Amino acid sequence: MISLLRVLCNGKNVGQLAEKQGDIVFQYNSAWLKSGFDLAPNSMPFDSHANPAARLEFQGLHGVFNDSLPDGWGVLLMDRALKKHLNLERSQITPLDRLAYMGHRGMGALEYQPELLPEQQDGKRIDLENIAAQSEKVLHGETSDVLEALRICGGSPGGARPKVTVAFSENMENCLSSFGDLPEGYAHWIVKFRNDSRYGEGDPIDMGRLEMAYADMGRAAGLQLARTRLIELTVNRKQEAFFAVQRFDREGSRKIHFLSLAGYAYANHRLPCLDYSSGVLPATKKLTKSDDEVGKAFRLMLFNVLAHNKDDHSKNFTYLLDPMKGGWRLSPAYDLTFNNGMANHHTTSINGSGNPAFSDLKKVATERKIKSWLQILDEVRSAVSRWPEFASNYDVTKTRIKAIQKELGAINKACSPPQVRRVYRNGLG
């Protein structure tokens, strides 16, 4: 349906996307080339030509624009809405249609005009308990309809798990639609729901508590994270705690531009196609031009390894550009939780290994010239060793605490320096 889209950033015209002889091309606006910034350095030409995408990984869409689209849960809601309102089958929906559907509701700072199905929910109060219950029904095919509020606030975040973008008051007691200017004292948040295991394989009942414990453990390990909270809701007459995180792509009502590693490198986040040493860390250095930011990415790698977060795919590394604060920087860490990844291997390999040993960590640190890397390793190991403490603070089930502790202990032994492993072998660990 859509063959031409205008791209905006915080209200300013960036350029236009168009379908041209079967290709999707993007051309910067001449005024933006003079006074704006490069949306995707080293990934998309910053010039006046109509350029196609560097690769066909995203159905011909440029990586930076593909970042505006959801996946999993958000696509499910989008497809149902486009079928309901425009009678479009999934096979008929093009990437430009999807961007037009997102309009001004996507993650990051980019917006697309004209919009398909603009919402009428600005500033309206959100009933999170009802939305959580509705999301459960939609996910498992119990209804062919989509509640309008769920379509709007649940349609932009990435990931497979149901989630919504909302605005909370400072005391977290009032919840509004987050599109449009926020009232004073409100901030943008994402609330993650749960795949109910009553319908087959799903998330454990304490999933939100587990992710909250991991957030605290990540902070103790020296990672930068956005604010996090547990939201207590009654869903289908059952009390649950859901994980919520403040959005790092919003500052008040101002939008912050971001670029994921998937969009930057045209890397399919569903496949194990990257390595920390040859992918994540050099991309971080090339984009941010900062050894400190590379150090942050290395610390995140160590946490993912030692904390058994193996779903460390290319969309879980993101870079922010806020012209008011300088150049590119690594975003706060997110999606930190116990995860088995694919076949119990890290999605992003470490020195070519999906289950690294100490020698692999050392090789990455040496190749990327990470300063004081043994100290960083010790800080992360120390934080992860406190897992039972963090988990108990949020009432994670004792069975889960014990099972995760066993896995973390095995990883700690494999990734410890030789002298520490000798202590384990002598029975003192």
The pLDDT tens digits of the residues spanning 178-195 come to: 887 889 999 999 999 987
Maximum average pLDDT range among 171-180, 189-198, 272-281: 272-281
Q: What are phi and psi of 203, to 5 degrees?
A: -85, 150
Buried b (16+ CB within 10 A) or exposed e, 270-307: eebbbbbbebbbbbbbebbeeeebbbbbbbbbbbbbbb
- In this structure, of 38-52, 121-135, 204-218, 354-368, the range with the lowest mean pLDDT score is 121-135
Displacement of CA 217 from its chain's centroid (Å): 18
* Range 306-317 average pLDDT: 96
405 confidence band (pLDDT: 50, 70, 90):
very high
Q: What is the pLDDT of residue 201?
A: 55
What is the CA 285 to chain-centroid distance, rounded? Answer: 20
Q: How far apart are the first and last CA of the chain?
A: 63
Each residue's pLDDT tens digit, 215-270: 999 999 999 999 999 999 998 888 999 999 999 999 988 899 999 999 999 999 88
The torsion of the CA quartet 324, 328, 332, 333, rounded to 10 degrees, works out to 170
In this model, does residue 403 exceed pLDDT 90? yes
Q: Is 369 exposed, middle or buried (0-12, 13-18, 19+ CB in 10 A)?
A: exposed
Residue 421's pLDDT is 52
CB 135 within 8 A of CB 117: no
**pLDDT mean across residues, the chain:** 91
Cα-trace Rg, the chain: 22
- Contact criterion met (CB below 8 Å) for 256 and 249: yes
**What pLDDT score does 121 carry?**
52
Query: Is 80 exceeded by the pLDDT of residue 424?
Result: no
Which percentage of the chain shows pLDDT scores above 70?
93
Confidence of residue 427 (pLDDT cuts 50, 70, 90): very low
Tokens of 264: 């930057």
CA atoms within 13 A on the CB side of 221: 32
Q: Cα(255)–Cα(270) distance, rounded to whole angstroms?
A: 27
Q: Are strands 254-255 and 250-251 parallel, antiparallel or unpaired?
A: antiparallel
Q: At what angle do helices 291-306 and 373-384 cross, to 10 degrees?
A: 40
* pLDDT of amino acid 135: 86
Residue 359 confidence (pLDDT) = 96
The sign of the dihedral angle between the CA atoms of 117, 118, 124, 130 is: positive
Q: CA-to-CA distance for 174 and 182, rounded, in angstroms?
A: 12
Residue matched to tokens 């409100």 = 186
C-alpha to C-alpha distance for 304 and 312, rounded to whole angstroms: 7
Q: Look up the pTM and report it.
A: 0.93
Q: For residue 22, what pLDDT is reported?
A: 85
Backbone angles phi, psi at 44, to 5 degrees: -150, 130
Q: Which two tokens stand for residue 345?
A: 């291997």
What is the rounded distance in angstroms from the CA atom of residue 243 to the CA atom of residue 384?
20
Cβ proximity of 26 and 16 under 8 Å? yes
> Does the pLDDT at position 199 exceed 50?
no
Tens digits of per-residue pLDDT, 381-393?
999 999 999 999 9
pLDDT at 200: 43
Q: How far apart are CA 35 and CA 262, in angstroms?
A: 27
* Side-chain half-sphere CA neighbours of 124 within 13 A: 12
pLDDT in tens, 82-116: 998 899 999 999 999 999 999 999 999 999 999 99
Q: Count of CB atoms within 10 A of residue 247's CB? A: 22
Compute, in degrees rounded to 10, the torsion defined by CA atoms 275, 276, 279, 283.
170
What number of other Cβ atoms are within 10 A of residue 84's Cβ?
A: 14
